[in-house]
Structure 1
Amino acid sequence: MPVKSNNVLIIRQPTRPPSSAYLDTELTRRLGCRFPIVQTAMGWVADANLVIATTRGGGFGFLAGATIEPQHLEAEINKVIEATGGSNFGLNFHMFQENAMQCVELAIKYRLKAVSYGRGPDKVTISRLKAAGVLCIPTVGALKHALKAVELGADMITIQGSEGGGHTGGVPTTILLPQVLDAVEVPVIAAGGFSTGRGLASALAAGAAGIAMGTRFMMTTDSPTPAQTKARYLAVHDPQKIRVTRSVDGMRHRILENAFIKKLEAAGPLKKLFIALGSAYRWKRETGMTFGHMIKTFFKAIKEDPAQLSQVVMSTNQPVLLQRSMVDGVPDEGILSGGQVAASIDQLLSASDLIHGIAREADACLQRVCASGESQAPTREASMPR
């Protein structure tokens, strides 16, 4: 039944998980989950509670190790283990983060099923993880990066098409997926633009081992994202309003339009620097920005390049800007990372209901395709050129 909570529509409907051979893939076999559906490690969103809900629902979840404070990371891992009865989940990290090696050591210590990463570890570190039985599943946005990841020892690869949220490449999923499938022999997980069973069925039919979703899991009742921020995502119905900007850190970043981004994009070099410094100073406790440092940075920019320096400051300030929307619930003062698929989502489900609904729909789609193929096989065979 529909329920209103803080002006956000929540749909609760009973679901029963299907059981189908069509959904038994290399992903489910290697990761030990029931359905080939992965919950990605969104910063400030993929906490222990979301991973627990995903695991219980039959999917595979990744903890966002890049935004969990180092002193709390081990406790979050133990929370998932205690709630789910095992280490059948993953941990995400980036090698540029200060506690990257802590993430590696914890993944090995607790024999987590997998790690995911973007800017990944070197071959030696990957070998250590693999020797401990931890599967290495990097996320890539280009064919060349997929090939490099396999060379370094990746066990599986997640490809993210340009429709995906946050930092993303420029190649759509429908082009990138077949490119990578043709080029590598490891299982491939498709990400970027997925939220339905039809999408899962199409990915499996193309040869993927499963799908990964970020935005759709963020828009569930199990996500810690504040209601005000979820409401902002639910209010977007035009995919063109979820677009790529380079104004935050110079890299391709898919976001929802909001007042902060519009102001940043409209600003000239000096004004952009003012915005970057002002934002950093406003959250000075988190960023370490003092008034003296702010003034020194400003005069340094006047002598050098204000545009480049503003980009550096904004890049450093990015985690706090993301925190403003995803933790503090002030969507117009932060960054709203999200995939274009958000425009097609109009309700919040539990993670379990979401997973079961996608699995049931995918199973039905694949059954229809197979049944249709069997019924038309003689006619098609007769018409084949000899």
Structure 2
Amino acid sequence: METALTRLTGVEHPLVQTGMGWVAGPRLVSATARAGALGVLASATMTTEQLRQAVREVKSRTDAPFGVNLRADAGDARERVRIIVDEGVRVASFALAPSRELIAELKDAGVVVIPSIGARRHAEKVAAWGADAVIVQGGEGGGHTGEVATTVLLPQVVDAVDIPVIAAGGFHDGRGLVAALAYGAAGIAMGTRFLLTSDSTVPDAVKARYLAAGVRDITVTTAIDGLPHRMLRTDLVTALERHGRARTLLHALRRAAGFRRLSGLSWPAMLRDGRAMRHGKDLTWGQVLLAANTPMLLRAAMVEGRTDLGVMASGQVAGVIEDLPSCAELVDRVMDEAERVLRRIPGSLRPLPGG
């Protein structure tokens, strides 16, 4: 199935595996790429040296195109861009809008730039700055999310920009791909669905929690870092929502100390990153620290398997996912179903009586 996305990135299928922290590592990305979709490495939870090693590991496993997701507001964003360019990575994606200068630097080096956005005006801005495509995430998506549903946001963005639009938030099967194409998208991006594959390195106990979740077990909370965050409801989430400022600050300090040791960041650097994540919001110091060390909360679940103390970011589709296929099986299933749906549509359309 050829679309503007496949032509732009060189992949076989118009499917993107999103860059999920602690999840989208070399194993998942290379499996996705070998299956013909666009795998995206999550670099925000890696040091620069780990990022370079991860890129080289993916390249050793497959010759297929893949991407790297970057935090545009990171203090070492330019160093990471340099790694992407030096290592010949095909695509750079961004969780926040990159600057005009970063986009130009990547494009001059032949890298495809695909920011993720959650509002029409953001899409218009990055398109004017030269972005090659955008990923549009509606409110159904996991992690930091907005309030507007994909079915409302997607057509707005498609109408507003003249670059390929990739739909995210609420997708897990071939029917969703066809629906996105009907709205004018060039493909779909999926996070939770790729997290729940046999190629994902997420511990089995955590995967089991996702598979057991119903749609109502997935919530949006601001308790983690002061911003709307979609995740599985756990005792930790409930406790943080009930904490006062003093207990939240104490909890944040403990978590921040662990993340500082793991990442090698200094306290000033962590606070600077926390402030950068505020996006103009009026956050307490506890929330600033939680924002800075949210990766540690994610790591507790996604790496250590701590379903009691970790954060499990999740799209609403977790409530309807029931199995753990390989990436190859998942991609084949999505594309086969999309083809069947497309073949059925002409036969399902009948003229109105008297028409």
Give the structure-2-normalised TM-score: 0.91
Asked if the contact 1:280/1:287 (under 8 Å) is kept, the reply is no
- Match of 1:50? 28
3-state DSSP class of the match of 2:287? Answer: helix
Q: Which aligned pairs between 1:2-21 and structure 2 lie closer than 5 A?
A: none
Output the CA distance in 2 between the equivalents of 1:190 and 1:181: 10
The alpha-carbon deviation at position 110 of structure 1 amounts to: 2.7
Output the CA distance in 1 between the equivalents of 2:132 and 2:99: 14
Residue type at the aligned position of 2:81:
V
The alpha-carbon deviation at position 320 of structure 1 amounts to: 0.8
Q: Specify whether residues 282 and 76 from structure 1 end up closer, same or farther in structure 2 by C-alpha distance, changes over 3 A only.
A: closer
- Match of 2:61? 83
- Match of 2:323? 347
Residue type at the aligned position of 1:272:
T
Output the CA distance in 2 between the equivalents of 1:278 and 1:80: 34
For residues 37-63 of structure 1, the C-alpha deviation after alignment (integer angstroms, 9 at most, x for no partner) is: 100000000011111100111111111
List runs of 5+ in structure 1 lacking aligned partners: 1-22, 291-306
Corresponding residue to 2:7 among 19, 23, 29 = 29
3-state DSSP class of the match of 1:138? Answer: strand
Asked if the contact 1:147/1:183 (under 8 Å) is kept, the reply is yes
Corresponding residue to 1:285 among 261, 264, 270 = 261
Q: Which aligned pairs between 1:304-383 and structure 2 lie closer than 5 A?
A: 308-373=284-349, 376=350, 379=351, 383=355
Output the CA distance in 2 between the equivalents of 1:62 and 1:350: 16
The alpha-carbon deviation at position 281 of structure 1 amounts to: 4.8
Q: Which aligned pairs between 1:112-131 and structure 2 lie closer than 5 A?
A: 112-131=89-108
Asked if the contact 2:144/2:230 (under 8 Å) is kept, the reply is yes
For residues 85-136 of structure 1, the C-alpha deviation after alignment (integer angstroms, 9 at most, x for no partner) is: 25x1111101222331122112222332211002233212211211221111
Q: Specify whether residues 31 and 283 from structure 1 end up closer, same or farther in structure 2 by C-alpha distance, changes over 3 A only.
A: closer
Output the CA distance in 2 between the equivalents of 1:362 and 1:202: 9
Q: Which structure's relative contact order is higher, taking Cα pairs within 8 Å and 6+ residues apart?
A: 1
- Match of 1:18? none
Is 1:182 aligned to 2:182, yes or no? no
Output the CA distance in 2 between the equivalents of 1:382 and 1:156: 44
The alpha-carbon deviation at position 340 of structure 1 amounts to: 0.6
Output the CA distance in 1 between the equivalents of 2:263 and 2:344: 54
The alpha-carbon deviation at position 243 of structure 1 amounts to: 1.2
Asked if the contact 1:159/1:177 (under 8 Å) is kept, the reply is yes
Q: Specify whether residues 262 and 147 from structure 1 end up closer, same or farther in structure 2 by C-alpha distance, changes over 3 A only.
A: same
RMSD between aligned residues: 1.9
3-state DSSP class of the match of 1:136? Answer: strand
List runs of 5+ in structure 2 lacking aligned partners: 267-282
- Match of 2:132? 155
- Match of 1:135? 112
- Match of 1:13? none
- Rg larger for: 1
Is 1:268 aligned to 2:248, yes or no? no
Residue type at the aligned position of 1:106:
I
Corresponding residue to 2:50 among 72, 75, 78 = 72
Output the CA distance in 1 between the equivalents of 2:26 and 2:154: 30
3-state DSSP class of the match of 1:108? Answer: helix
Residue type at the aligned position of 1:78:
R
The alpha-carbon deviation at position 241 of structure 1 amounts to: 1.9
Asked if the contact 1:226/1:329 (under 8 Å) is kept, the reply is yes
Residue type at the aligned position of 1:361:
E
Corresponding residue to 2:192 among 215, 222, 230 = 215
Q: Specify whether residues 37 and 282 from structure 1 end up closer, same or farther in structure 2 by C-alpha distance, changes over 3 A only.
A: closer
The alpha-carbon deviation at position 24 of structure 1 amounts to: 1.5
For residues 236-272 of structure 1, the C-alpha deviation after alignment (integer angstroms, 9 at most, x for no partner) is: 01x2221111111111111111111110001122222
Residue type at the aligned position of 2:346:
C
- Match of 1:235? 212
**How many equivalent residue pairs?**
339
Q: Which stretch shows the higher mean deviation, 272-281 or 76-85?
A: 272-281
Output the CA distance in 1 between the equivalents of 2:18 and 2:75: 21
- Match of 1:12? none
3-state DSSP class of the match of 2:284? Answer: helix
Output the CA distance in 1 between the equivalents of 2:252 and 2:108: 44
Q: Specify whether residues 203 and 283 from structure 1 end up closer, same or farther in structure 2 by C-alpha distance, changes over 3 A only.
A: closer
The alpha-carbon deviation at position 331 of structure 1 amounts to: 1.4
The alpha-carbon deviation at position 372 of structure 1 amounts to: 3.6
Asked if the contact 2:124/2:161 (under 8 Å) is kept, the reply is yes
Asked if the contact 2:211/2:322 (under 8 Å) is kept, the reply is yes
Output the CA distance in 2 between the equivalents of 1:289 and 1:254: 27
- Match of 1:164? 141
Give the structure-1-normalised TM-score: 0.84
Residue type at the aligned position of 1:173:
T
The alpha-carbon deviation at position 206 of structure 1 amounts to: 1.5
The alpha-carbon deviation at position 36 of structure 1 amounts to: 0.6
Q: Specify whether residues 125 and 260 from structure 1 end up closer, same or farther in structure 2 by C-alpha distance, changes over 3 A only.
A: same
Asked if the contact 1:281/1:289 (under 8 Å) is kept, the reply is no
Residue type at the aligned position of 1:246:
T
Output the CA distance in 1 between the equivalents of 2:68 and 2:305: 25
